[in-house]
Amino acid sequence: MITTPGEDKRLLFAARDINRFYFDNCPRIFRQSRSSLTAAMSALRKPRYSGKYLRSTIRSMLGETRVSDTLTNVVIPTFDIKLLQPIIFSTYDARSTPLKNALLSDVCISTSAAPTYLPAHYFKTQDAGGKAREYNLTDGGVAANNPTMVAMTQITKKMLGKDKEELFPVKPADCRKFLVLSIGTGSASDEGLFTARQCSRWGVVRWLRNKGMAPIIDIFMAASSDLVDIHAAVLFQSLHGDRDYLRIQDSSLRGAAATVDAATPENMRTLVGIGERMLAQRVSRVDVETGRNEPVPGEGSNADALAGLARQLSEERRTRLARRAAAGCAAGSRCCPPAET
């Protein structure tokens, strides 16, 4: 949503507005039932939340903006429950494939539709010739809870395509030129929530709802996310590019902080505090043997690492603009967009 253009073709929303969006809207999106028993019984028959407020809010904020309109290149994973396959929406695909150029609101609603919590989302797209495509989508986390490799795949895909001037002279398989920042949304404490002895006595209901969580879904999503982290970490280590991959993830969440829908002001303030503390923590990397994130000797804090990435990106942008200017590209042309302020 923060890549949505405003009337002046600048960002409609700023990153600093994210916290306020959650504080203002999450209590209405995840409206709590007065009776926990009623909520539990209802969750056996339908999604825990209607999603009506979420949908109306997103549509109101994004309007008719399409994926191709985003001011930066985005990659948004979803999962088609009718086709049983992941559907990846990206700015790159949307600009070359009209049937993938969906309303950004439809894509955001779809990738937010966590099973058991919010309803799946249906919509259609149509190209200029009248050809239509339907989508039956649910949460992108089902397919790619950690979309790092999805994003890297999209970049490689663009390198192989015709419209690759922006990335020239990087070669498609040259991951040493990649700079990856992966920010997780947190996971439950490494000490664990459940044991095999406990799970061995569970039936369908307990697997779907237990201690305010959905264990079966949490297991699949955690496994998917951690596997991608391990894969990416090993890839960059093998290329001696450890510092080109920064993963920031809290793996010690407990209680309400570890749940999806605890949208009380107190819990959201707790989450803000966790995020701020993470900035001061030392850079960590996953231990491929244990799966745990361990502090890296000799590295600074996450805040230091983020500042370093920002400097690298700024320098890279200046280099690209200088190279394009030297090549004599006309300002405003496809290969040489006007400099941003």
Q: What does the pLDDT look like over 93-140, one tens digit per residue?
A: 999 999 999 999 999 999 999 998 999 999 999 999 999 999 999 999
Query: Are 268 and 168 found together in one domain?
Result: yes
| Domain of residue 209, CATH code | 3.40.1090.10
Do residues 159 and 294 share a domain?
Answer: yes
Helix (H) or strand (E) holding 152: helix 148-160
* 8-49 per-position pLDDT tens digit: 888 888 888 999 999 999 999 999 876 666 666 666 678 999
Which pLDDT score, from 0 to 100, does residue 78 have? 97
Residues 296 and 251 both lie in one domain: yes
- Do 84 and 171 lie in a common domain? no
Strands 121-126 and 85-90 come out as: unpaired
Q: Which segments of the chain are extended strands (E)?
A: 75-80, 85-90, 121-126, 132-138, 180-183, 245-248, 284-286, 293-295
Structure tokens at 45: 């028959």
Q: How confident is the model at residue 341 (pLDDT cuts 50, 70, 90)?
A: very low
- Answer whether residue 52 is part of any domain: yes
Q: Is the pLDDT of residue 248 over 60?
A: yes
Instruction: Please tell me the number of Cα atoms within 13 Å of 61 on its side-chain side.
Output: 20
Question: Of 180, 178, 177, 206, whose CA–CA distance to 194 is shortest?
Answer: 206
In a domain, 328, yes or no: no
Residues 73 and 158 in one domain: no
Residue 339: per-residue pLDDT: 45
Please say if the pLDDT value at position 338 is more than 50.
no
Structure tokens at 315: 């320098």
What predicted TM-score, i.e. pTM, was given to this entire model?
A: 0.84
Alpha-carbon span 191 to 340, nearest angstrom: 47
Where residue 239 falls among pLDDT bands split at 50, 70, 90?
confident
Distances (CA, A) of 247 to 68, 72, 244: 28, 21, 10
Q: Which residue did the predictor score with more confidence, 243 or 163?
A: 243
For residue 252, give its domain range: 148-304
What pLDDT band is residue 209 in, cutting at 50, 70 and 90? confident
In a domain, 99, yes or no: yes
Domain boundary among 144, 173, 203: 144
pLDDT over 70 at 335, yes or no: no
Which of the four pLDDT bands, split at 50, 70 and 90, describes residue 287? confident
Measured in whole angstroms, the distance separating CA 98 from the mean position of its chain's CA atoms is: 23
Does 188 reside within a domain? yes
3-class DSSP string for 213-262: ECHHHHHHHHHHHHHHHHHHHHHHHHCCCHHHEEEECCCCECHHHHCCCC
Confidence at residue 243, expressed as pLDDT on a 0 to 100 scale:
86
Domain match, 173 and 283 both: yes
pLDDT score recorded for residue 177: 80
Domain assignment of residue 330, yes or no: no
Query: Of 41-45, 125-129, 142-146, 213-217, which range is least confident?
Result: 41-45
C-alpha–C-alpha distance, residues 59 and 63, integer Å: 5
Res 167: pLDDT: 54
Please tell me whether residues 119 and 183 are part of one structural domain: no
- State the distance between the two ends of the chain, measured CA to CA, in whole angstroms: 21
Asked whether the CA dihedral 13, 15, 16, 19 is positive or negative, the reply is positive
- Regarding whether 123 and 160 lie in a shared domain, the answer is no
Contact between 103 and 48 under an 8 Å Cβ cutoff? The reply is no
- Calpha distance 285→247 (Å, rounded): 7
Q: Let me know whether 203 and 259 are in one domain.
A: yes
Same domain for 265 and 187?
A: yes
Mean pLDDT of the chain: 86
Residue ending a domain, among 101, 124, 144, is 144
58-67, 98-107, 284-293: the lowest-pLDDT one:
284-293
What is d(CA 11, CA 13) in angstroms, rounded to the nearest whole number?
A: 5
* Residues 130 and 228 grouped into a single domain: no
Across the range 230-248, mean pLDDT stands at: 87
DSSP 175: G
Question: Shortest CA distance to 212 belongs to which of 255, 271, 250, 270?
Answer: 255
Identify whether 332 is part of a domain.
no
Model confidence band, residue 174 (pLDDT cutoffs 50, 70, 90): low
Q: Could you tell me which residues come within 8 angstroms of residue 85 by beta carbon, excluding any fewer than 6 positions away?
A: 79
| Number of domains observed in the structure of the chain | 2
